[in-house]
Amino acid sequence: MKQLSIVLAVVFIVVAVLYWTGHAYPPGVHAKHGIVSVILALLCLVWYRFQTAAPAR
């Protein structure tokens, strides 16, 4: 699951960059899609963090 969370985070960041640079659609047309992709990437990183932190004593 750790790998999955990191892979998904990277995928969402790539998707956001593609949207913003206009490779997926003309720039600005789907800026909101890019923003949501970044938020999803951040959530995946939080998910990763929850799997890698030291267990409670």
Partner 1 sequence: MTFVQAMILAVLQGVSELFPVSSLGHTVLVPALLRWRVDESSESFLAFVVVLHLGTALALIAFYRAEWVAIVRALVTSVARGRFGDDPEERTGWLLVVGTVPVGILGVLFESSVKALFASPVPVSAFLFANGFVMLLGERLRRRQHAGTARATPYRTLPQLTWKDAVLVGFAQSLALLPGISRSGSAIVAGLLRDLHHDDAARYSFLLATPVIFAAALLEMPKLFAPDAHVALVQSLAGGVLAAITAYASVAFLTRWFRHNDLSPFAWYCVAAGAASFILFAGKVIS
Smallest distance, partner 1 to C-beta of residue 10, A: 18
Residues comprising the chain, all counted = 57
**Ranges within 13-52 binding partner 1 (CB under 8 A):** 32-33, 35-36, 39-40, 43, 46, 49-50, 52
Smallest distance, partner 1 to C-beta of residue 49, A: 5
Structure tokens at 27: 């720039």
DSSP one-letter string for 8-47: HHHHHHHHHHHHHHTSSSSTTTTHHHHHHHHHHHHHHHHH
Residues in contact with partner 1 by CB under 8 A are 32-33, 35-36, 39-40, 43, 46, 49-50, 52-56
